Structure 1
Amino acid sequence: MTTPPPPITEPDPSALTCPGDKIGPCAVCRRKTRRYGLGGNPLCGWCVTAARDKWGPGVRWNTARP
């Protein structure tokens, strides 16, 4: 059983570890996430998990952080 995502007002954990100029909204839920620069992704961690469940393991999420 997976835990439900926190409220949209709480940022993705990746947004907490990067400079403010790299933060942007998730393309699906609009939660603050690391969106720009090395390691950026247009989806937050919760939305990419849902996309992976729907589309399969070919959906990638870059977890590398500088």
Structure 2
Amino acid sequence: MTSTPPPPVNEPDPSALVCLGTQVGPCATCQRKTHKYGRGGSPLCQWCMAPAMEAWGTTVRHTSTRP
């Protein structure tokens, strides 16, 4: 199966288009705008999360270090 290449990093992750503007932040890897903060947020955009999920499996999750 071939995947389509990701769009240029100046285009936001689709998740950034459906969340509040205050929950948008840069992807930890490529700096693309993504839903980073709040419930359902992730430090990686969907294109950077895909290789991480392949390497670590579907159980890869972001663990907050905040109390």
TM-score interval, normalised by the smaller of the two chains: 0.7 to 0.9
Q: Which TM-score applies when normalising by structure 1?
A: 0.83
- Note the residue ranges of structure 2 that are not aligned, 5 or more in a row: 63-67
* 1:15 and 2:36 are equivalent in the alignment: no
Match of 2:31 in 1: 30
Q: 1:56: Cα distance to partner?
A: 2.7
Whole-angstrom CA distance in 2 between matches of 1:58 and 1:19 = 26
State the aligned residue count: 61
1:40-55 matches, within 5 Å, as 40-55=41-56
- Note the residue ranges of structure 1 that are not aligned, 5 or more in a row: 62-66
* 1:5 and 2:9 are equivalent in the alignment: no
Match of 1:57 in 2: 58
Percent identity (aligned): 59
Per-residue CA deviation, residues 2-58 of structure 1 (Å, 9 max, x unaligned), is 111000000000000011100000000000000000100000001000111223333
Whole-angstrom CA distance in 1 between matches of 2:23 and 2:60 = 22
RMSD value, Cα: 1.4
Q: Which TM-score applies when normalising by structure 2?
A: 0.82
Larger Rg: 2
Is the partner of 2:37 in helix, strand or coil?
coil
